[in-house]
Amino acid sequence: MVQGTASTVGKSVLVAALCRIFKQDGIRVAPFKAQNMALNSFVTREGGEIGRAQAVQAEAAGVEASVDMNPVLLKPEADARSQVIVLGKVAATATAARYYDYTPALLEVVRVSLERLRSAYDVVVIEGAGSPAEINLKEREIANMRVARMAGAPVLLVGDIDRGGVFASVVGTLALLDEEERRYVRGIVINKFRGDVELLKPGLQALEALTSKPVLGVVPYFRDILIAQEDSVYLDERAEAPPAVDLEVAVVRLPHISNYDDFDPLEEEGCRVRYVSGTSELDWPDLIIVPGTKSTIADLRHLWRSGLAEAIVRLANQGTPVVGVCGGYQMLGKSLHDAQGVESGAGAALGLGLLDMVTAFAPDKSTAQVRGKVVHSAGMLRGMRGVEVMGYEIHMGRSVLGQDGGAFHVFETPNGAADYIDGAVNAEGTVLGTYIHGLFHNGGFRRALLNNLRRRRGLPERWDRPVEDRDRQYDRLADHVRRSLDMPAVYRILEEGTTL
């Protein structure tokens, strides 16, 4: 099990790396996170919703993602509530206080999912949540030491040195654990290090003396390995765009932004992707993207209050292309209606009016992997009719088109043949909306759309920057972490378990 001294120390990426390392070494491995709180999510083949991080870890492990890998997912909403998803399906919407009333029952769900994985795989790599030293939650948590005890899993404790105070955070975390819990911690990993590790060694030796735990490695900070990130803190840490970019993409940073890894491939293919929070940051981009959100109406109202809504509409009316994904697609329509209070108590909200479409929310959530093809051929979709795409849908609500046409014909889901229209596009092809997440991960679609944007600007087309496939990225991540960890010691800990 990989636990951390805090959130955002890099647990998810290290679990992905270990999954890949074990796969490379011929071990059948799967990831597991009992409870995840995240707005980035993924849909499994069976139509279940799990945290995006566990889908990435499964991909690194070379296995298909399943709901057992993340049996409990919390998706924060407006008004201090979270949607509670159990085994891939919405079970409730609850405040934090109400949620903790459910945890005894959820612990049994966690146990059954973990046992199914353990029976099917040689190794399960478990990711903790936040910190195991949240002493106000220890009696009710279902994601850290309680899971370690349930599984009899040895724990690697990870600290983030980039933010400072790593020695204090490691020592303090161990001090707040009880004696039995400390026994589960078999090693310490220092993550996100910049500099000469030789200068760090005196501190590492002191840390080992203070804790009686070995430091199993120091993992250097990296920016050049492209792995989907789970926490929105990542948006503050993103690297500057390379100098060879020729297109500017402005992604609106909504308060409840979700699935922002949808847009990572754009950076790898000649785009500077900026996440903008205010009108002063919007500038004159070549493409505006309104991303997904878990709280569509609340975030739409934020756009109107901040002035971003008017700015987006003004640029769109002047010809700047706009793409909306999922909740962002719903915002592009004329209005949103929530008569049943599914998303909020607002009842209705005024959309941006860039698409002739209205959306009504309903209690049922649509979750499915899909295959489709473009059915429009103008503007940013010029010459793209028939181009195939793959992705997944996660949304509550149904959008009804007026005069604008559909964007994609969905012809297949894991259940077999399908036949329905997704999304909308205006006649000029300058405003596009879709429910399909992962759209820009489709290389043919992405390159054709970007080249249409280049033609609009009088720029030369580019076909010479194929995005490095994700499989290669996982290998690079594994190599990076393998060089940094004492892997023989990790394997010894695997064999020994929690015995000292």
Q: Report the catalytic residues.
A: 326, 437
Q: 263-283 burial by CB neighbour count: b if 16+ within 10 A, else e? A: bbbbbbbbbbbbbbeeeeebe
Cα torsion angle, 486, 492, 495, 498, sign: negative
Output the CA torsion 23→27→28→33 (10° steps).
Answer: -70
272, 248 in Cβ contact below 8 A?
yes
DSSP per residue, 140-167: T-SSSHHHHHHHT--EEEEEESTTS-HH
The residues, ordered by sequence, that sit 6+ positions from 478 with a Cβ below 8 Å of its Cβ are 17, 20, 21, 24, 60
Sign of CA dihedral 469, 117, 392, 438: negative
Within 10 Å of residue 457's Cβ, how many Cβ atoms?
10
CA distance 83 to 95: 9
Amino acid at 378: A
- The residue type found at 100 is Y
The residues near 227 (Cβ < 8 Å, ≥ 6 apart) are: 13, 16, 56, 473, 474, 477
The per-residue DSSP string of 355-387 comes to SSEEEEEEEEEEEEEEEEEE---SGGGTT-TT-
Three-state SS string over 464-485 comes to CCCCCCHHHHHHHHHHHHHHHE
Interaxial angle between packed helices 470-484 and 52-61, expressed in degrees from 0 to 180 and rounded to the nearest 10: 80
